[in-house]
Amino acid sequence: MLDVQKVKQRIAELRKLPGIAPKSISEILEENGFTRRDFLKWSGALAVTLGLPASFAPVVAEAAEVSDRLPVVWLHLAECTGCSESLLRTDAPTIDDLIFNYINLQYHDTIMAAAGWQAEENYEDALEKFKGRYVLCVEGGVPTKDGGEYLTIGPHAETGLHKLKRTAKDAAAIIAVGTCSSFGGIQAAAPNPTGAKGIHKVLNKQVINVPGCPPSAKNIVGTIVYVILFGQLPAVDNFNRPKFAYGLRIHDLCERRGHFDAGEFVEEFGSEEAMNGFCLYKKGCKGPYTFNNCSRERFNQHTSWPVQAGHGCIGCSEPDFWDSMAPYEEPLANHKFSSVSADATADKVGITILTVAGVAIAAHAAISAIKNPKE
Ligand code: FSX
Ligand code: SF4
Ligand code: F3S
C-alpha cells in the first residue's frame, strides 16, 4: 500500500545526506524561468503519470528536491545514446531536463567532464563509496558472444558484459533505460552478430525495463523519481515495464481512434485522408500491439508524438520490435508470425497476444472496409 507518511520519512532521511548540487532545484528552476507554481504543476502531473493519488503531488516535489542525494551510476553499452538525448537535447530545458541534471549522477560517460583514466577513477570511487546504495541506469544492450568482446569500454578495454555485472552487483536498484538495454534493441535484430541481449538476461537481480527507442523523458525521470519516493521499484507488467507508463496500448488513447472505430483509414501518405488525420493502421501503425503512454504523454514538452506527426507507431517499446513489427508501413496482420524470434518465454507471451489481437484488428479493418461507404 502507498503510504504518504512512510515516503515523507524516507525523504526526511535523504535530506540529511549531503547533496552534490551547488544550488537547490528551486534556485535552478528560477534561473531557468520556472516559477514555484510551474514546479508544483509539474509534480502534480508527474504524480498523475505515476498513478499516485493527488495527495502525493507535494511529496513528488519534495522527492525531486532531494534527488541530488541518491547516487546514480549510468552505463552506456551497445546503443545510439538516443535515450540520453531524449532527456537532454531540447532547445529549451524542461523541468524534466533540469531534474536530470540535478540528480546525483556519479558517472555518465556521455555528459561528465572527466575522460579516460580520470573517468575510470571516478567510476571506481563511486562504486566503492556508494556500495549497496546507488541506482544503476543502463542504456544499451549487452553483447555476449565470444565472452562479450564486441564491446569494450575504457582504457582497460573491459568488456561491457563484465562492467555491467560488476556494477550491478552492489546496486540498490537497476533500471534498463531504452529498448536496447530492456530487450537488446537494434543490435539484437536478426542476425544479431554480437549476441546482444537485454541486460536482465545476464543479471540475476531484478531489472526494471523502461523501453522505447527512445523512451520519453517522462518515463525515465518518472521511474527514477518513483525509486527515490518509495525506495523500491514500481509495479510492473509481464515484461518488467512499470505499469504506470506501459499499462495501456498506444491505440487505447490515440487521437485517431475515432477514425479507426469508424473505419476511416489512410490508404496513401499525402492523401486527403492523411491530411484529415484518419487512422494509420493500414499504413502499418502498430499502436494496437504496443504498450506505452506516447498517445497520452507525448514528447518534447507534450508537443507531439509519432502518430500525431503523421506516421504509424512502429512498436518501439516492444521486445524484438525491429524484427517482429517490420515492415513498418504495412499492417502486422498481413504477415506471418513465424519469422519472429521466439527464444524467450516472455517473448512467446507477447507473440500470443499479438497473434490474437492481430486477427481481431485485421478483421475489424476488413469489416469496416465493407461498412464504410468511402472505401
Ligand atoms: Fe537503444 Fe538508447 Fe534506441 Fe538509441 O541508448 S533504445 S538505439 S534511441 O539510444 O538504447
Ligand atoms: Fe491510432 Fe494507430 Fe490505433 Fe489508428 S491504429 S487509432 S493511428 S494507434
Ligand atoms: Fe515508439 Fe510507438 Fe511511441 S514508435 S515512441 S511506442 S508511438
Q: What is the mean pLDDT of residues 231-254?
A: 93
Give the model's pLDDT for residue 269: 97
User: Is the shortest distance between the CB of 99 and ligand 2 below 6 Å?
Assistant: no
Alpha helices by DSSP H, listed for the chain, are 4-16, 25-31, 36-49, 57-65, 82-88, 95-102, 116-129, 160-169, 179-183, 217-230, 243-246, 257-261, 272-275, 294-297, 306-309, 321-324, 345-371
302 or 283: which leads in pLDDT = 283
* pLDDT digit string, tens, across residues 186-201: 999 999 999 999 999 9
Alpha-carbon distances, residue 349 vs 28, 231, 282, 346, 359 (angstroms): 45, 30, 25, 5, 16
Compute the distance from residue 32 Cα to the ligand 1 centre, in Å: 28
Give the model's pLDDT for residue 358: 59
Residue 94 CA, distance from chain mean position: 17
Alpha-carbon distances, residue 144 vs 10, 77, 367 (angstroms): 38, 11, 46
Q: What is the mean pLDDT of residues 300-313?
A: 93
Q: What is the mean pLDDT of residues 158-173?
A: 97
- Give the ligand with the smallest distance to the CA of 298: 3
368 or 284: which leads in pLDDT = 284
Ligand 2 atom with minimal separation from the 254 CA = 1
Q: What is the mean pLDDT of residues 251-265?
A: 97
- Confidence band (pLDDT; 50, 70, 90) for 91? low
- Confidence band (pLDDT; 50, 70, 90) for 360? low
Compute the distance from residue 181 Cα to the ligand 2 centre, in Å: 27
Instruction: Read off the C-alpha cell for 233.
Output: 521499484
Residue nearest to atom 6 of ligand 1 (CA): 213
Give the model's pLDDT for residue 18: 80
For ligand 3, pick from 209, 250, 307 the residue to mutate: most ligand atoms within 8 Å of CB. Answer: 250
Give the model's pLDDT for residue 232: 79
- Give the ligand with the smallest distance to the CA of 77: 1
In our burial notation (b when 16+ CB lie closer than 10 A, e otherwise), range 113-137 reads eeeeeebbebbeebbeebeeebbbb
Domains and CATH numbers, the chain: 4-246 (3.40.50.700), 250-371 (4.10.480.10)
| Res 280 pLDDT > 70 | yes
- Confidence band (pLDDT; 50, 70, 90) for 246? very high
Ligand 3 atom with minimal separation from the 216 CA = 5
Compute the distance from residue 368 Cα to the ligand 3 centre, in Å: 25
Give the model's pLDDT for residue 264: 97
347 or 231: which leads in pLDDT = 231
Q: What is the mean pLDDT of residues 151-161?
A: 93
> pTM of the prediction?
0.86
Residues with CB under 6 A from ligand 1: 79-83, 139-140, 178-180, 185-186, 213-214
| Res 285 pLDDT > 90 | yes
Give the model's pLDDT for residue 231: 79
- Give the ligand with the smallest distance to the CA of 196: 1
| Res 350 pLDDT > 90 | no
Residues 6+ apart with CB under 8 A from 81: 110, 139
| Res 71 pLDDT > 60 | yes
Compute the distance from residue 119 Cα to the ligand 1 centre, in Å: 22
* pLDDT digit string, tens, across residues 19-62: 777 888 889 999 999 999 999 998 998 888 888 888 888 888 99
User: Is the shortest distance between the CB of 296 and ligand 2 below 6 Å?
Assistant: no
Ligand 3 atom with minimal separation from the 292 CA = 6
